[in-house]
Structure 1
Amino acid sequence: MRTGFIGLGNVGGKLAGSLLRAGAALDVHDLDPGLVATFTAKGANDGGDPARMMRDCDTVITCLPSPAASAAVVEAMLPHMGPGKIWLEMSTTDAAEVQRLGAKVIAQGAAVADCPVSGGCHRADTGNISIYAGCDRATFERVLPLLTVMGRKILHTGALGSASVLKVMTNYLATANLLTLCEALTVMKASGMDMSTTFEAIAISSGNSFVHETESQLILSGTRDVNFTMDLVQKDIGLFQKLADQHNVPLEISPLMIDIMTDGQRRYGMRAQSDRIIERLEEATGLSVTAPGFPDRLIDTEPEAQGAELTPRR
């Protein structure tokens, strides 16, 4: 299976890297020619443009920063889609939009799946990230060999769009956890607690979480570079709020989170790293919520291994 990968950014570049390490016949494309050159130096082919990639490849994967970017790429690829071709969307996107574009793809006789990832850039870098897959079962079976190279746990979530719904939910929860951790760490610092001890106290408690085990380390080291920016956070929590509005669910925490992140963008820049949101509290209190001994960047220490489908309880 010749595979194309469009979007070699923080996440996409790492997913494409897993395919390349596994020996996949890989064509790549990105608006940044430097990123393309990095991959061609390692043995990938320069895909040229989305239309050519869909013409030349069996499957084309997109991992792009916005629904609008994905839509533009799909429209360019559509004339070259047909039986045997697959569009695999790995961006975090709007479920309705992937269904709209997916209908066009299916009308051409091709197949489509939305396959967003979860687990952080450091796990994408080792092929140990989790992947959701929304598509019919036949398409899932066709793309599973690719997914098990890029990810460790693969969950077939149901029909097209279902994976995107679940993905924005997980990013909403991660953002809520980040904001509460910022408050918790700042209050502990103000209370005179040792921050290394505080980190371990959370890690062994009922308050522990994936976000604490990863992002709290970057907050405390002071680097606050999680490879995820505030504009992406806003996109994801905004999509979650849109789902709630569509289904008439009156949320209280979600609008407050959007307001907090909006203020963070106003202070630090639209594309500031999301972990910098703690600096709002540091500025308000005059505290520095840092501690020695924490890493400048996250590294996945779990050995890379072939992924497998995760079967839900029934």
Structure 2
Amino acid sequence: MIGLGNMGAAIAERLLDAGYALVVHNRSPEKAVALEPRGAIVAGTAEELAAQADVVLTSLADDDALESVAAKVLDAARPGTVLVDVSTVSPDASARVASRAEAAQVAYLRAPVSGNPGVVRAGNLTFIVSGAREALEKVEPVLLAIGPTVHHVGQEEQARVVKLAINLMIGLLAQSMSEALVLGEGSGVSRAALLEVMGSSAVGAPFVKYKTDALLRDDYSATFTMSLMEKDIDLALRAAEHAGVQLPLAEQLEGHLRAAIDAGYADDDFIALFQFLRQRVQLDQEVVP
């Protein structure tokens, strides 16, 4: 396992709990060392890790990180190794990794995930996978030790697009929830009452129920930051441009996310869109003569 951020560390813990012999590497070594008491073997470099692993999982922040780490892994990996990347990155960067993997005789699975660290630790993570089905069959037991659901959606970069589409829907849902709550509170409806009705209505998606408690407590500690959501919406817009389609709501959402980041919400959970909108309403009211 390479990349021990919030998601990568949770995935590593699941694999260790399942009894896998796990080698870990992270750019900040203290995160890897923290897993040693649980049985992980720490590799000093990505190359050292790749040389001794049959399956290499990567959980990385962005395109540049994936391409840099993948180059090191593919230089050292043995033919027949399977590289499984669970990051959310662009289809273009992923395709470049695929080309290098083919040249290195390494099978490559794009396997972005739906869920957050709490979902991982609860054993409920969903994988969205594209790549050779034979490679998936080889590593599926590993994936199922992490989470129970694996969707195979194609042979090439389809999984990347599906993940971006899902995150686009989540981002738009967060924006629409935030606007609905601002409307409700501004009209004298209690936040608790509106969230309760939302949760039991036709729009009561799991996401609504999942975010209800945090919204009631004004708890915007991040499960997925505003900055990461903005990055993913930007990736979705770039993918849309490549596909020759328009995403007008995504364009507006990106503008809202950037404004919230500029207002100081970059490291807060993206549901802080509500707090940002509420703050703007209060500021507007203060300047009304």
What TM-score comes out, normalization by structure 2 length? 0.94
How has the CA–CA distance of structure 1 residues 33 and 82 changed in structure 2, closer, same or farther, with 3 Å as cutoff?
Answer: closer
SS of the residue 1:11 aligns to: helix
Distance in 2 of aligned mates of 1:117 and 1:89: 10
Is the contact between residue 93 and residue 164 of structure 1 (CA under 8 Å) also seen in structure 2?
A: yes
Contact 2:16–2:40 at 8 Å: present in 1 too?
yes
2:44 matched residue in structure 1: 48
What is the match of residue 257 of structure 1? 253
Structure scoring higher RCO (CA < 8 A, sep ≥ 6) equals: 1
- For residues 146-161 of structure 1, what are the structure 2 equivalents within 5 Å? 146-161=142-157
| CA distance in structure 2 between the partners assigned to 1:243 and 1:84 by the alignment | 31
Alignment of 1:193-204 (within 5 A): 193-204=189-200
Question: What are the equivalent positions in structure 2 for 1:158-237 lying under 5 Å apart?
Answer: 158-237=154-233
CA distance in 2, matches of 1:215, 1:197: 14
- Of 103, 106, 109, which aligns to 1:110? 106
Give 1:44's aligned amino acid: A
Amino acid at match of 1:168: L
* Aligned-pair CA distance for 1:269: 4.8
User: TM-score, structure 1 length as denominator?
Assistant: 0.86
| Counterpart check, 1:68 vs 2:64 | yes
Contact 1:81 1:105 in 2 (8 A): no
* Aligned match for 1:80, one of 73, 76, 83: 76
Q: 1:38 and 2:39 equivalent?
A: no
Match of 1:281 among 264, 277, 284: 277
The answer as to 2:14 corresponding to 1:18 is yes
State yes or no: 1:134 paired with 2:130. Answer: yes
Percent identity between the two aligned chains: 25
Contact in 2 for aligned 1:188/1:198 (Cα 8 Å): yes
Question: Which one has the bigger helix percentage?
Answer: 2
Partner of 1:8: 4
- Equivalents in 1 of 2:272, 2:52: separation in Å? 42
The whole-number CA distance in structure 1 between the counterparts of 2:87 and 2:103 is 22
Matched position secondary structure for 1:282: helix
Matches of 1:144 and 1:128 in 2, distance apart? Answer: 15
CA distance in 1, matches of 2:184, 2:268: 25
Q: How far did residue 127 of structure 1 move?
A: 2.0
Amino acid at match of 1:273: D
1:301 counterpart residue number? none
Aligned residue for 1:132, secondary structure, equals strand
Instruction: Measure the CA separation in 2 of the matches of 1:283 and 1:194.
Output: 17
Unmatched 5+ stretches in structure 1: 288-314
Distance 2:225 2:93 in 1: 22
Deviations 1:132-172 (A, max 9, x none): 11111101101111110111211111113111110011001
Which string of whole-angstrom CA distances, capped at 9 and with x for unpartnered residues, describes residues 281-311 of structure 1?
2212339xxxxxxxxxxxxxxxxxxxxxxxx
- Establish whether residue 239 from structure 1 lines up as the match of residue 235 from structure 2: yes
| Cα distance between partner residues in 2 of 1:7 and 1:39 | 12
Name the residue aligned to 1:90. 86
TM superposition shift of 1:100: 1.2
2:170 maps to amino acid: A
Alpha-carbon distance in structure 1 between the residues aligned to 2:3 and 2:212: 28
| Counterpart-to-counterpart distance in 1, 2:226 and 2:152 | 29
CA drift at 1:129: 1.1
The answer to whether the Cα contact below 8 Å between 2:181 and 2:274 also exists between their aligned partners in 1 is no
Letter in 2 for 1:278: F
Aligned partners of 2:168, 2:212: CA distance in 1, in Å?
17
SS of match in other structure, 1:68: helix
Q: CA deviation at 1:56?
A: 0.8
Unaligned runs of 5+ residues in structure 2 are 284-289
Report the more deviating stretch, 190-199 or 71-80. Answer: 190-199
